[in-house]
Amino acid sequence: QGRRKAETFDFLGFTHYCTTSRNGKWFRVGRKTISRRLSARLKAFKEWLRANRTLPTAEIMRTTANKLRGHYAYYGVSGNSRSISNFAYQVELILFKWLGRRGKRGSLKFEKFRLLRQRFPLPPPRIQVNLW
């Protein structure tokens, strides 16, 4: 009613909060990924990559793409694009770090990592469900 904002609450992996529409006239419920869940998913991905870094690169990239698609399918709701973009960026950083640790002749340079991403593309973050 305009007096004060309602409190946020966590439900089904999302933090629900009050926001307004783009033009600022209408009330909307905003959703973003719970920060604890996001960090837990990143930690689980890092542990998986640590345990499986000796797999062929093609298989690592294919499995990473599947993990990203699953994350986008669940958390890809309207209003949550910033969280899923952040997740995709953090996953790429973890991949760069752990794939660079595999070689004997120094670490993986970013130019080679860019070529690797072109050869085995990862799905871009996108909203799967429009709730508005």
| pLDDT, tens only, 1-52 | 566 667 889 999 999 998 887 888 888 888 999 999 999 999 999 999 999 9
Q: Where are the domains of the chain?
A: 34-119
The strands making up 14-20's β-sheet, listed across from edge to edge, are: 9-11, 14-20, 27-33
| pLDDT, tens only, 75-117 | 999 889 999 999 999 999 999 999 988 877 777 889 999 999 9
Report residue 27 as tokens: 């009330």
pTM listed for this prediction? 0.88
CA angle (30 as vertex; 26, 35 as ends), nearest 5: 160
